[in-house]
Amino acid sequence: MRIGFVITRSDRIGGALIHVKDLARVLQREGHDVTVLTGGEGVLTEELREQGTPCISLRYLVRNVEPLTDLRGLVEMRAAIKRLHLDIVSTHSAKAGSLGRVAAWSLGVPVLYTAHGWAFTDGVPTRTASVYRWIERLAAPFADRIITVCDYDRELAIRQHVASASRITAIHNGMPDVSPELRAHPERTSPHLVMIARFEEQKDHPTLLHALATLTSLEWTLELLGDGPRWEQMRALASALGLSERVQFVGARRDIPERLARAQLLLLITNWEGFPRSILEAMRAGLPVIASRVAGAAESVIDGETGCVVPPGDVGRLSEALRALIVDGASRRRMGDAGRLRYEQCFTFDQMYTRTTAVYRAVLELRRRPSASFSAPVVHTAARRVGRLTE
Q: pLDDT of 52-85, one tens digit each?
A: 999 999 999 988 888 999 999 999 999 999 999 9
Taking CA 384 as the corner, what is the angle to CA 380 and CA 388, rounded to the nearest 5 degrees? 170
CATH topology assigned to domain 180-346: Rossmann fold (3.40.50)
Q: Is the pLDDT of residue 117 over 60?
A: yes
- In three-state secondary structure terms, 18 is helix
Looking at the chain, the whole-number percentage of residues with pLDDT higher than 70 is: 94
Model pLDDT, residue 340? 98
Q: Is the pLDDT of residue 379 over 70?
A: no
At 370, the pLDDT band (50, 70, 90 cuts) reads: low
Model pLDDT, residue 372? 52
Query: What is the sign, positive or negative, of the torsion defined by CA atoms of 236, 241, 242, 245?
Result: negative
Model pLDDT, residue 4? 98
Query: What is the sign, positive or negative, of the torsion defined by CA atoms of 140, 143, 149, 150?
Result: positive
Spell out the alpha helix ranges (H) of the chain: 15-29, 43-50, 67-84, 94-106, 126-139, 151-159, 205-213, 231-240, 256-261, 277-285, 297-300, 315-326, 329-346, 349-368, 376-390
Model pLDDT, residue 386? 43
CATH 3.40.50.2000 domain span(s) along the chain: 2-174+349-390, 180-346
CA distance 96 to 70: 10
312 in Cβ contact with 294 (< 8 Å): yes
Q: How far is C-alpha 169 from the geometric centre of its chain's CA atoms?
A: 16
Q: pLDDT of 192-234, one tens digit each?
A: 999 999 999 999 999 999 999 999 999 999 999 999 999 999 9
CA distance 191 to 262: 10
Model pLDDT, residue 65? 80
375: left (phi over 0), alpha (psi -120 to 50) or beta: beta
Q: pLDDT of 31-61, one tens digit each?
A: 999 999 999 898 889 999 999 999 999 999 9
Q: Is the pLDDT of residue 385 over 50?
A: no
Q: What is the pTM of this model?
A: 0.90
Q: pLDDT of 275-301, one tens digit each?
A: 999 999 999 999 999 999 998 998 999
Query: What is the sign, positive or negative, of the torsion defined by CA atoms of 334, 335, 339, 340?
Result: negative
360 in Cβ contact with 1 (< 8 Å): yes
* DSSP for residue 167: G
| First-residue to last-residue Cα distance in the chain | 27
Q: Name the strands in the sheet holding 55-58, side by side, starting at the edge strand that comes first in the sequence.
A: 55-58, 33-39, 2-9, 88-92, 111-115, 145-148, 168-170
Q: pLDDT of 169-195, one tens digit each?
A: 999 999 999 999 999 999 999 999 999
At 371, the pLDDT band (50, 70, 90 cuts) reads: low
| Alpha-carbon radius of gyration of the chain | 22
Model pLDDT, residue 347? 97
- For 2-174+349-390, CATH number out of 3.30.420.10, 3.40.50.1110, 3.40.50.2000, 3.40.960.10 equals 3.40.50.2000
